Structure 1
Amino acid sequence: MTAVSAEQDLGPDFSSRLLASSETLSYDPIKEIDWEAPLPEEHYGLNPEWSTLYGTPLWDELTEQQRVTLTRHEVCSIMSTGIWFEMILQQMILRDQYVQDPAKSEFQFALTEIADECRHSIMFARICERMGVPAYFPSRTVVELARFFKSTATGEVAYGAGLVAEEVLDVMQRDWMRGENVLDIVRTSSKIHVVEESRHMSFAREEIREHMQSIGKVKRRFSALAIAVVAYVIVSSLVSPKVYKSVGLDPKRAVAAVNANEHRKSMMRNASAGLMEFLSEAGLLTRPAIALYRRVHMI
């Protein structure tokens, strides 16, 4: 999930390698996932350890079936947020590549990324439909502010936004794809997403490095804060408070339990470790940015 810059040319060799990787390491979710397979009642939507309530007294109060139901709604909330953000990134890619030379490998890889993201969004949508879980989206305020962001974000901010979303989800999905007690459709979709997004993340990191070489101190501080704001919004929006109603919980009580959940905080810090290391190396971990990352326990 990265935006491709029309102003920079990373070189035909780099883009050509990405295109070659797309040809050999791409999947068709319609064929790869067994959409007709039954969904065992005892299988979770994600590893219990990744549930927002895992490790809390409230989790201990839930029956096993309530835990299964909760994790299925949680994973679909994460997927719905993924669809929302992938649509933002697809629009940025199209905006950046508008009337660019279609013969260039950069242009062709940009469209390849869009094709990947379209398949991923459809895959996530069908999984939630298959589980009978409604769509969960960020608040209306966040949705509307994102309209402005997708129309203005460029360079390291656009790439950084995509990277923070993908890095955190990548760590989660690497666990889900190995979870023996996780639904097969989630395990298979996680494998597909991890494999195909790995080249998107590599591209984003390279773009960020290139852009950071030519920006001044003021722009660097602004970009660091902007990326941190995006990270804060994404992480805060992954699991909607509405999911707790699915198992008969009071959302306010559940959210309070999540906010006090030290296990959850530890999992988020671990999931963000690689991202924070890269942002630090790139010069994008300023004090204001770190303060925001701490608020969502990414540091």
Structure 2
Amino acid sequence: MTSVHHNTGERERAARRLLDSSAALSLDPLREVDWDAPLDTSYHGLSPEWSALYGTRYWSELDEDQRKELTRQEIASIFSTGIWFETVLQQMVLRDFYAADPADPNFQWALTEVADECRHSIMFARSVAKLRAPRYRPHPAAVRAGRWFAALAGGEAAYASILVAEEVLDVLQRASMCDERVLPLVRTVNNIHVVEESRHMRFARAETRDRLLSASTARRHASAVVIASVAFYIVAGMVSRKVYKTAGLDVARAVREAAANEHHKAVLRSSCAGLMEFLHSCGLLTRPAVAIYRRANLI
């Protein structure tokens, strides 16, 4: 993942600002989250409008308790997907900064980001357990692709993929963290993640632009497809089929209606408008990439 970096002085100043922000604003999930509070099943797990079934005929047939259980299982699945990708992210960042100058603020920031992601993964794991959810795993094909990606992805493909994953989750969490219909534990977890990931996303945007400065047209086009493919796997894997079984629904019907849910597709598209604008500004919205984003309902 090594590459020639430009504007070294500015990159170092940006890394120092991120380090200062981390020192001032980092939150400890072990202290901030009330892990001992009993699970209150009168709350949703995410804003109902973000449910994959919201707006469908099936949703209209569910009573409030069923809807709340569904959204709690959905957020447990989303957190599980977050854990999976954060472990991929950590490997990429560590590999990128392997044997780098420890005095470089960028190296120190990279380790800070990995430390944040470790804490986030533990926070998500404890949340999944608290939500009484089973183990939700990505599709085996996504797991295999993740192993390959963690070992080989580099440059703008790695950092833009990090950005895509974080942006999709960020918008969902921002919608839910102030929603009083959502479980207080989940709101607190969302708030912690949003605050800390805002730094990670700034870093990922800067690194994406920096790596593209030395990228050929062919490499940029190849990276565009890789990034779009990562987005597809993440969005497709956010809500496991197993969620519907755990929530006591008809799995086949739920999967069918979720796949055809125009409301959910519109929510995804609107939430990713800023991300798509950034990718377009970087020349990463090529025709093949756009086709993949359309399939993922992100554009």
Q: Calculate the TM-score normalised by the size of structure 2.
A: 0.96
Alignment of 1:233 onto 2:233: yes
> Equivalences for 1:198-209 in 2 at 5 Å?
198-209=198-209
What is the CA–CA distance in structure 1 between the aligned matches of 2:202 and 2:20, rounded to whole Å? Answer: 14
RMSD (Å), alpha carbons: 1.3
Alignment of 1:90 onto 2:86: no
Alignment of 1:70 onto 2:70: yes
What is the CA–CA distance in structure 1 between the aligned matches of 2:138 and 2:39, rounded to whole Å? Answer: 27
Alignment of 1:281 onto 2:294: no
> Equivalences for 1:29-178 in 2 at 5 Å?
29-178=29-178
Q: How many residues align?
A: 296
Paired AA for residue 194 in structure 1:
V
1:85-115 alpha-carbon deviations (Å, 9 max, x no partner):
0000101111112222111111111110011
Q: What residue number does 2:23 align with? A: 23
1:30-58 alpha-carbon deviations (Å, 9 max, x no partner):
00011112332210010111110000000
Q: What residue number does 1:215 align with? A: 215
Q: CA deviation at 1:7?
A: 5.2
Identity value in percent: 55
Q: CA deviation at 1:135?
A: 2.1
What is the CA–CA distance in structure 2 between the aligned matches of 1:134 and 1:293, rounded to whole Å? Answer: 30
Q: What residue number does 1:270 align with? A: 270
Structure 1 residues 79 and 243, CA gap change in structure 2 (3 angstroms): same
The range that moved more, 8-17 or 121-130, is 8-17
> Structure 2: which 5+ residue stretches go unaligned?
none
1:121-166 alpha-carbon deviations (Å, 9 max, x no partner):
0000001111211121111121012111111100100001100001
Is the Cα–Cα contact under 8 Å of residues 81 and 238 in structure 1 kept in the other structure? yes
What is the CA–CA distance in structure 1 between the aligned matches of 2:274 and 2:54, rounded to whole Å? Answer: 23
What is the CA–CA distance in structure 2 between the aligned matches of 1:89 and 1:24, rounded to whole Å? Answer: 24
Is the Cα–Cα contact under 8 Å of residues 6 and 96 in structure 1 kept in the other structure? no
Q: CA deviation at 1:262?
A: 0.8
1:211-268 alpha-carbon deviations (Å, 9 max, x no partner):
2222121111111111000001111000001100122222221111011111101100
Structure 1 residues 110 and 280, CA gap change in structure 2 (3 angstroms): same
Is the Cα–Cα contact under 8 Å of residues 212 and 220 in structure 1 kept in the other structure? yes
What is the CA–CA distance in structure 2 between the aligned matches of 1:247 and 1:278, rounded to whole Å? Answer: 37
What is the CA–CA distance in structure 1 between the aligned matches of 2:64 and 2:196, rounded to whole Å? Answer: 34
What is the CA–CA distance in structure 1 between the aligned matches of 2:105 and 2:4, rounded to whole Å? Answer: 14
What is the CA–CA distance in structure 1 between the aligned matches of 2:27 and 2:232, rounded to whole Å? Answer: 31
* Local SS of the residue matching 1:11: helix
Is the Cα–Cα contact under 8 Å of residues 3 and 155 in structure 2 kept in the other structure? no
Alignment of 1:180 onto 2:188: no
Q: CA deviation at 1:207?
A: 0.9
